[in-house]
Amino acid sequence: MEQLTLTKNAEEVMLFDVHKIRKDFPILSRMVNDKPLIYFDNGATTQKPKQVIDAIVKYYTLQNANIHRGVHRMSQDATDEYENARITVQKHIGAKYEHEIIFTSGTTDSINLLASAFGKKYVNAGDEIVVSEMEHHSNILPWQQLCEEKNAVLKVIPITDSGELRMDEYKKLLTAKTKLVAITHVSNTLGTVNPVKEMIAIAHSKNIPVFVDGAQAIPHMKVDVQDLDADFYCFSGHKVYAPTGVGILYGKEEWLKKLPNYQVGGGTIKTVSFNKSEYAESPLRFEAGTPNIEGGIGLAVALDYINAIGLEKIAAYEQELLRYATEKLSAIDNLRIIGTAKEKASVISFLVEGIHQLDIGVLLDAQGVAVRTGHHCTQPLMAHYQIPGTVRASFSFYNTREEIDIFSNAIVKSINRINKK
């Protein structure tokens, strides 16, 4: 079976026409510091295909109108586009109902929404929230603040030095006081793919709900929230080739019905009076104010774009890029890869002995290579490794082996330049 899987993946990589795909991304043809751009900062944000750019231009050129309640044609057309985008997201992540899809401004907004609404009703003094050592700050701070406000306790799943969760410790952390597990699907710094389906099953066996931060998973793999049995799941549009400023919070219908309001205002109501106001059902109850209409439309176009290519093909190709880049970087003297989990998305964090990561980043930029340097909003994770930060290269399906060759050579040139000083 393993051999068949490898053969299938190899065939998908061979059939993947990356050069044709790159033509859909106008920005990839630009020059940086008189060098062709090599964009390896996809974990921070992805570039946008012309199909998404065209959809945004079309919206502002022909469709711009506020949605819901308008009887005129343009408002109705914009509403249809926006609500159809909700259905596209529902189908993409395998949600049971379209009203389980809440539009937000991004992953951070989604987590704050959930922490506020869930915490208001379900978290009290002495209760516990469980997160992991590898979480992005956005999946730490809202829960930390909630625990401080409610006099609750934030508990942390430790990791191994290879960057994998200590599942034995995870099981021990779950108690009768645990109100929620909040876990990243894929580490933005290490690329570790966490066993979230298993973690959800373990938590559910103790009647504990689970929230999954899917910001770094959605671009790289097929996600089915019903198969995972996730109670809540979120992601950002800009990580998956859509515009900035739009994101998704998925919640099971039974949970969304029980959550109190987060923000209130226009669009969240059925009736308003000075005596008492009645609120709409999900998702509108959680979507106060005028939304990012073009962002929602652009997100649907982006999801249609990657589905047309095929997520299995994308995953297989990106895994080949990861394998090749790991091989090339491992051959460089004094370079250490941080995070060597068995299951990884196409992300590599590394350090060069005796050289600050910012210096490497600046010298790579001079050679046209865009990477991310620093702590990547994961300071507790950096503390685990006792380092201030790393250089992070994160790959997309529009990147190439040739770019990795240039990248690898650029690292060597940067090291030699620094060591000559």
Task: List residues with catalytic annotation.
Answer: 377
Phi/psi for 263 (5° steps) reads: -105, 150
In the 8-state DSSP scheme, what is residue 318?
Answer: H
Name the amino acid, one letter, at 134: M
Cα–Cα dist 238/242, whole Å: 5
CB atoms under 10 Å from CB of 76, counted, come to 14
Contact indicator for 179, 127 with CB cutoff of 8 Å: yes
Residue with tokens 């508990």: 155
Beta bridge partners of 198: none
Orientation angle between helical segments 50-58 and 293-309, nearest 10 degrees? 150
Beta bridge partners of 336: 351
CA angle 200, 178, 184 (to 5 degrees): 45
Orientation angle between helical segments 401-420 and 311-330, nearest 10 degrees? 30
